[in-house]
Amino acid sequence: MKILFVADPLETFNIKKDTTFVMMRQAQSRGHEVYACEVGQLSWVSGARVSAQVLALDLDVAVSQAGWFHVKASLKLDLTEFGAVVMRKDPPFDVEYFYATHLLGQAVIEGARVFNSPQALRDHPEKLAILAYPQYTPPTLVTRHGQDIRDFHARYHDIILKPLDGMGGKGIYRVKSDGLNLGSLIETLNGEGAQTVMVQQFIPAIEQGDKRILIIAGQAVPFALARIPQGAEVRGNLAAGGKGVARPLSERDWEIARALGPTLWAKGLLLVGLDVIGDNLTEINVTSPTCFQEITDQTGCDVARLFVQALETAVLAQTPSLTQRAQ
């Protein structure tokens, strides 16, 4: 089938670690036709369907950073012409991303099969999605009020502050019991009440890593990638210099994954990345979860194959039968 990946510019991919790249490679190896576009190439005009200017790709099996893909053609196609559309645009979830989900949502109405579901992407902002599962989260505050943050710090003494639209660990700060720079950080992140901030109790288990647990079609991949902070850094994110170590899921990891996985899949989230520190769920990543290559390289568990197989099954489940098409 034809699979369209809506992603960042192909030239920006680091193929040594990029998850979308290995998705594409696995899809091609399984006989699918691979296409790509950016969100800015989606469009709609009255009387027609949502379409995109797309590139038909041939991936180089030699896998070199230079010239890893070849463009066979540039075409304008309706999204309904693809067997599947995979939304892989990286955060931030800004207003343009929001608009893109509406265009993709219209494409779904027209009959396109889009993963993750555009509606589910809007309903699960990556920081705030944990609010539905307080039994698994650390003490957490979401607020626009500086005094609320000060009160939270006075209660828990050691806290993490982060913006709701961040990714890769950007904008995350720790304030210890001495409260050093708390006022300045509140001003920076909160913008004097203009921006909502998430605050969580610091979890010492971050020393053992911020675990990325991948959920595919409601089922957990049996290995997580523990992203371990290096040096004096408090952030484990790979983009912030963390070291990725693949580990089997713990009993608590399985408990969280089994509790959330089927529910999230039922809402249209084919691929989810749960972030767990110690025994605590800290984020639910739905826009562009990563870590496929790191887990596969260290464990032999082919995560991209699991994903594409699940995508194939999901497409079949959404494809009308010949009888239904005739009605």
Catalytic residues: 127, 162, 212, 227, 235, 275, 283, 285
285 preceded by cis ω (within 30°)? no
165, 92 contact by CB (below 8 A) = yes
As given in the structure block, the two tokens for residue 84 are: 């599947």
DSSP string, 235-271: ---GGGTPEEEEEEPPHHHHHHHHHHHHHHHHTT-SE
- Estimate the crossing angle of helix 182-190 against helix 146-156, to 10 degrees: 140
In the numeric block, the tokens 């197989």 are attached to: 309
In the numeric block, the tokens 């920076």 are attached to: 188
289, 212 contact by CB (below 8 A) = yes
Task: Return the bridge partners of 52, or none.
Answer: 42, 77
CA-CA distances (angstroms) from residue 28 to 21, 76, 82, 251, 311? Answer: 11, 21, 14, 35, 13
